[in-house]
Amino acid sequence: MSFSPKAMIRFNKKTKEFHLQGKDFSYIIKILKNNQLGQLYFGKKIRDRKSFSHLYAIRSRPLVACVYEGDSFSLDTLKQEYPSYGTTDFREPAFQILQENGSRITNFEYQHHKIYKGKPKLEGLPATYVEKGEEAITLEISLYDKLIDTEIQLLYTVFSEWNALARSARVVNHGQQALNLTRIMSASIDFFDSQFEMVHLSGSWGRERYVKMRKLQPGIQSISSTRGASSSQHNPFIALKRPDATEHRGEVYGFSLVYSGNFLAQVEVDHYDVARVTMGIHPFDFNWLLGQGESFQTPEVVMVYSDQGLNGMSQTYHQLYRTRLAKGYWRDKERPVLINNWEATYFHFDEEKLIKIAKTAKELGIELFVLDDGWFGKRNDSKTSLGDWFVNNRKLPSGITGLAQKINDLGMRFGLWFEPEMVSKASRLYEQHPDWVIKVPGRRMSQGRNQYVLDFSRKEVVDHIYGMMAQILREAPISYVKWDMNRYMTEIGSADLPPERQREVPHRYILGVYDLYERLTTEFPHVLFESCAAGGARFDPGMLYYAPQTWTSDNTDAIERLKIQYGTSFLYPLSAIGAHVTSVPNHQVKRITSLETRAHVAFFGVFGYELDVTKLSEKDKQKVKEQIAFYKKNRKWIMNGTFYRIRSPFEDDGNIVSWMVVSEDQKEALVGYYQVLGTANPGFSRILLKGLRTDYEYEIEGIDGTYFGDELMYVGLLLEDAKGKGDFYSKIYKLKAIQSDEKVGMKNR
């Protein structure tokens, strides 16, 4: 069965093989001798044929356990699709189910399958989607364990326009006994070999998503989070690249989990050099009680194949996530240039101060004013009032509605900060509902940033917060919400769940967060939501589904942002990357960089400012005007363009960084070049550009002459002499293709 020449799924009844073909990749599954699923191939697209049996072999090996007597069929030596543990396979499994008799042994066999146009929604979870059925094909395979009367449904969606495969699993308990899901991963795959380097994005607050690489070794290598959020420590993403793969050539396999809670991404290399990748909800401290007739849906893993290196993988994720993960009114719209008052005022402001900042910002061309923390309850520091989402009239006598209207009257949009998942002990909410926090009876509650985590696994808690936020959004002309989250979970427990369900709290919490997002974005579709979590502690695809942009990091230093934004671009499009110009010395690292360099970095993201513009000199105000005008002129194609990483801050000495974005029609491009430290008597430098049309002739602003695309990509762009430029130097090169009539005019001159 097929629906598009770029995406096809075929089932060979005779050989019992499924061949999934994407735009440039093939994925082949086989029903094995024991009626379970084997993995035959994932990689560069190959032609379909009558049989792929030559990719599958059963060979005897010493010290293996075999499924059948007198036979060499052993799962220990076979590549599998969704493996279990305990029946001849000793590797870590994709799932494990504890039964009432204490057994963890299962036997899920192929039952049936169906192939259909489009892509189903995942109940209660964010996921990629399609707008027309022809955009994707889905294979749904049903596995069944007769003894426990339970079904596992495996979902595979192949997209027509992207080299991406979306996978998830759903467990349905048809039987009489209660089951405990102790491990239920979203996807698993066994590769032919382990000749890969594992790429992941790791760090901490203020240095999120640094690029890390390691060669696969025998045993288990993994990244994870057990913090209740995807975390700034590890992003829910890994890639396997061949050792010779670079940014622009070679084979790369990407794995991205569309989820915002505890996760595990793991590669196990066995004694036969097979690499098994598993990804999903972290099984540590997890258990899900599945009663009769109940089901459990896993989050989605989006797998990407690239034979065009890491950049090729990233560009697939960028295009897919920008257009078929992010959703709603703001998905394709130009984002307003904003100013956030946080670093300008922190908690110390009143209405007069805010209006003064907004008036100056408007004069500079800024379009959106965002009021950050400190507007509610008795909030004058970080110790009080979270959960009390009503205005502090001492600071704002005309309320949020009055302030928002005054900002609107200036010709600007108005935005507001919330931290809906948290509560302060010094608050009305905590006084009235002390049992609404995540805690364990009889145990001390640890605090973070003087705040505690609300129990979003409870519907009444989510309902209450929704009611308070919705009331404000209904009453005031608010165009933007910054949704913050500044604390991980500790002492995890819920007063509302029985003992046997306590290990469900982290996942139920995330489902509650998604529910609140879903309700608010549905009722207020024209509000632009930006997710934030102490900066980048929950920068993940699950959040991107509801909030099309994310605050990238609390570290706003331009030089630090080179690494942070470079790593973030491995997975996330520029339209998702919040990037602001802030004051100097920088509040996080005390570094002083030029206003130009700060803007040159922030141009490659959703652009804004976070400083007191009333304190700028007239000269700097003029520079800000020019920066904003430049960004507005180019932002549409920058957000929708193709991004290329050119020079990495993580390679060589990291002193030179470069990247660029090319418009969809390849007629415009923006190149960023950054020098961290000045060097004595530097040589003559050039960079090889990417993504241009070889036959297009380009002008480069500020440089005489014209250059063909092939020259710029193969000979390179000779850079401005960096001699004497000093530390933290940057340069932006704007390219524009010359139209045919312009060429004629130039020749006539």
> Which residues are identified as catalytic?
484, 554
* Phi, psi at 100, each rounded to 5°: -60, -25
List all residues 6 or more positions away from 136 whose beta carbon is below 8 Å from its beta carbon: 7, 117, 118, 119, 130, 157, 158, 159, 160
Tell me the three-class secondary structure of 485-536, residue by residue.
CCCCCCCCCCCCCCHHHHHHHHHHHHHHHHHHHHHHHHHCCCCEEEECECCE
Give the H or E element holding residue 141: strand 136-145
Closest listed residue to residue 326, CA positions, set 29, 646, 606, 40: 606
Closest listed residue to residue 162, CA positions, set 46, 254, 300, 265: 254
Q: Note the Cα 247 to chain centre separation in Å.
A: 19
How far is residue 434's CA from residue 425's CA, in Å, rounded to a whole number?
8
Closest listed residue to residue 291, CA positions, set 378, 173, 132, 181: 173
Expressed in angstroms, the distance from the first to the final Cα of the chain is: 60
Closest listed residue to residue 490, CA positions, set 436, 430, 447, 521: 447
For residue 399, the SS3 value is: helix
Q: Please, which residues bridge with residue 642 across strands?
A: 662
Closest listed residue to residue 179, CA positions, set 296, 69, 270: 296
How far is residue 10's CA from residue 170's CA, in Å, rounded to a whole number?
22
On the CB side of 295, CA atoms within 13 Å amount to 12
* Under 8 Å between Cβ of 11 and 18: yes
How far is residue 661's CA from residue 640's CA, in Å, rounded to a whole number?
9
Give the H or E element holding residue 352: helix 351-364
CA triplet 585, 384, 394: central angle to 5 degrees?
85
Q: What number of other Cβ atoms are within 10 A of residue 527's Cβ?
A: 18
Pair type for strands 179-190 and 288-290: antiparallel
CA triplet 508, 514, 519: central angle to 5 degrees?
125
* Under 8 Å between Cβ of 152 and 295: no
How far is residue 260's CA from residue 124's CA, in Å, rounded to a whole number?
13
Pair type for strands 338-340 and 219-225: unpaired
List all residues 6 or more positions away from 296 whose beta carbon is below 8 Å from its beta carbon: 170, 171, 181, 184, 288, 290
List all residues 6 or more positions away from 602 whose beta carbon is below 8 Å from its beta carbon: 558, 561, 579, 580, 581, 608
Q: What number of other Cβ atoms are within 10 A of residue 441's Cβ?
A: 7
